[in-house]
């Protein structure tokens, strides 16, 4: 079992990450990890804080001489902004000796107006807190930097197994990729889709639509408003059989949905063409199968003309491209504000405003890829021998050969040795 734990506040000194269960012998590509963290900070419509931070992982455990050891992997991501919040976010008890300037800083950063759409109200009530900031600091999307760092490590593991992960923006606000363009992406490998997306300021693979989206975000910034959108994650190279139909909590589609729904501002998840499929008869939904010996099918000798299921059937991968979408609401923190209530008085007021993105959907696509990678890495580790990368790679290769021989139609195909 691969388990991720994160700790740290948005304006605290650092984020701390423990990733337990990583096999030994995974060689780390630090440039790749840094690139993913930088991509999370990018995207048109981000706040000024992204220019202040230069996220990088500082590994403190589980790695020696550039490779994982099998021990729990621990790393930290420093918050440079913390230098401006030393008094406000100090872990020491408040002292009566604080000077007036320090007391004023603490008072100025106290949040006493609730923000609709955030965790402010529920978290402050749940933990019986006196300052809404205590909830804001942990519920902030700054925490996703930790997830992206861990997800990058998982992507490196998946690459060793012949699996490629890509993500891109499908829609922001009123602008969306056309069905024709989405169809054209099906003929491109995941690696190429990622390259096209990262060439855009909004991580959209359609360059002409990217310009329209940028203008749309500019208008939202002028209006003091925010925009949401849709991102898509595609994964190539997955063998059939990851996940399980045995229990509800082991179904891979459920695990993917939970992972993506845990990302801040995510409000819906779709696998394949799930939304469209709900309105169609079964004969127009399910992906027919035929034999294919051309060697071009992603699932060996099994060919599907369509992939409306998005690569998942019965809670398991079926060998086709995994396609999953996440829908993100507009960021609740807006300059124009919303009618709200004060805290603790609960008198009518306007929502608190603190520096925030106008649109974080491009960054959300990077976070979504990280969460999908974490889930898939765990699915491999759950199914195959995994104390070391040698064991894992050999087990996966043996299983792929088994599936290849089986789908070849040979009655004497060998049984899996995994």
Bridge partners, 18 (sequence order): 5, 74
**Chain mean pLDDT for the chain:** 93
Band of pLDDT at residue 386, cut at 50, 70 and 90: confident
- CB atoms near residue 382 (< 10 Å): 17
For the segment 68-104, what is each residue's pLDDT rounded down to a tens digit?
999 999 999 999 989 889 889 999 888 777 888 888 8
- CB atoms near residue 34 (< 10 Å): 16
pLDDT at 279 over 90: yes
Which range among 66-70, 234-238, 410-414 shows the weakest confidence by mean pLDDT? 410-414
- Closest Cα to residue 110, out of 343, 350, 347? 343
- The answer to whether the CB of 330 falls within 8 A of the CB of 225 is yes
Chain-centre distance for alpha carbon 136: 20
Burial class of 232 by CB neighbour count within 10 A (0 to 12, 13 to 18, 19+) = buried
Which range among 256-265, 291-300, 307-316 shows the weakest confidence by mean pLDDT? 291-300
Bridge partners, 289 (sequence order): 304
**Can you give the pTM of this predicted structure?**
0.94
Q: Which helix (H) or strand (E) holds 37?
A: helix 30-41
pLDDT recorded at residue 45: 77
| Structural domains of the chain, with CATH | 3-82+141-272+309-383 (3.60.150.10)
Higher pLDDT, 50 or 213: 213
For the segment 165-189, what is each residue's pLDDT rounded down to a tens digit?
999 999 999 999 999 999 999 999 9
- Closest Cα to residue 300, out of 407, 394, 397? 407
Half-sphere exposure of 401 (CA within 13 A, CB side): 11
pLDDT recorded at residue 44: 86
Chain-centre distance for alpha carbon 342: 33
pLDDT recorded at residue 340: 93
Bridge partners, 291 (sequence order): 302
Mean pLDDT in residue range 5-13: 95
């Amino acid at each position: 079992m691969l388990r991720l734990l994160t700790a740290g506040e948005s304006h605290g000194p650092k984020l701390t990450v423990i990733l337990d269960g990583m096999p030994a012998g995974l060689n780390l590509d630090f440039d790749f990890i840094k690139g993913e963290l930088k991509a999370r900070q990018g995207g048109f419509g981000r706040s000024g804080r992204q220019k202040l931070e230069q996220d990088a992982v500082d590994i403190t455990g589980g790695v020696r001489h550039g490779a994982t050891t099998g021990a729990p992997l621990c790393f930290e991501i420093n918050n440079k902004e913390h230098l401006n919040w030393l008094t406000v976010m100090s872990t020491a008890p408040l002292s009566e000796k604080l000077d007036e300037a320090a007391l004023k800083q603490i008072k100025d950063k106290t949040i006493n107006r609730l923000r609709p759409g955030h965790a402010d109200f529920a978290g402050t009530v749940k933990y019986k807190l006196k300052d809404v900031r205590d909830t804001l600091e942990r519920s902030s999307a700054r925490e996703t930097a930790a997830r992206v760092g861990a997800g990058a490590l998982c992507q490196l593991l998946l690459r060793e197994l012949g699996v490629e992960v890509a993500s891109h923006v499908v829609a922001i606000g009123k602008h969306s990729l056309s069905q024709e363009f989405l169809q054209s992406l099906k003929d491109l490998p995941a690696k190429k889709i990622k390259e096209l997306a990262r060439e855009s300021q909004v991580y959209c693979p359609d360059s002409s639509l990217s310009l329209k989206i940028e203008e749309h975000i500019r208008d939202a910034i002028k209006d003091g408003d925010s925009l949401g959108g849709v991102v898509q994650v595609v994964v190539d190279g997955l063998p059939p059989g990851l996940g399980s139909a045995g229990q509800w909590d082991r179904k891979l589609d459920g695990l993917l949905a939970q992972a993506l729904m845990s990302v801040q501002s995510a409000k819906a998840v779709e696998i394949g063409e799930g939304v469209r499929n709900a309105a169609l008869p079964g004969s127009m939904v399910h992906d027919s199968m035929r034999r294919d010996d051309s060697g071009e099918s992603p699932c060996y000798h099994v060919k599907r003309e369509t992939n409306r299921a998005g690569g998942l059937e019965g809670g398991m991968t079926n060998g086709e491209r995994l396609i999953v979408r996440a829908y993100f609401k507009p960021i609740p923190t807006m300059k124009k504000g919303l009618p709200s209530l004060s805290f603790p008085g609960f008198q009518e007021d306007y929502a608190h405003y603190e520096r925030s993105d106008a649109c974080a959907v491009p960054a959300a696509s990077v976070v979504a890829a990280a969460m999908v990678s974490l889930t898939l890495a765990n699915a491999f580790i759950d199914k195959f021998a995994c104390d070391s990368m040698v064991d894992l790679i050999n087990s996966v290769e043996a299983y792929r050969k088994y599936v290849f021989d089986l789908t070849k139609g040979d009655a004497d195909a060998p049984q899996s040795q995994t």
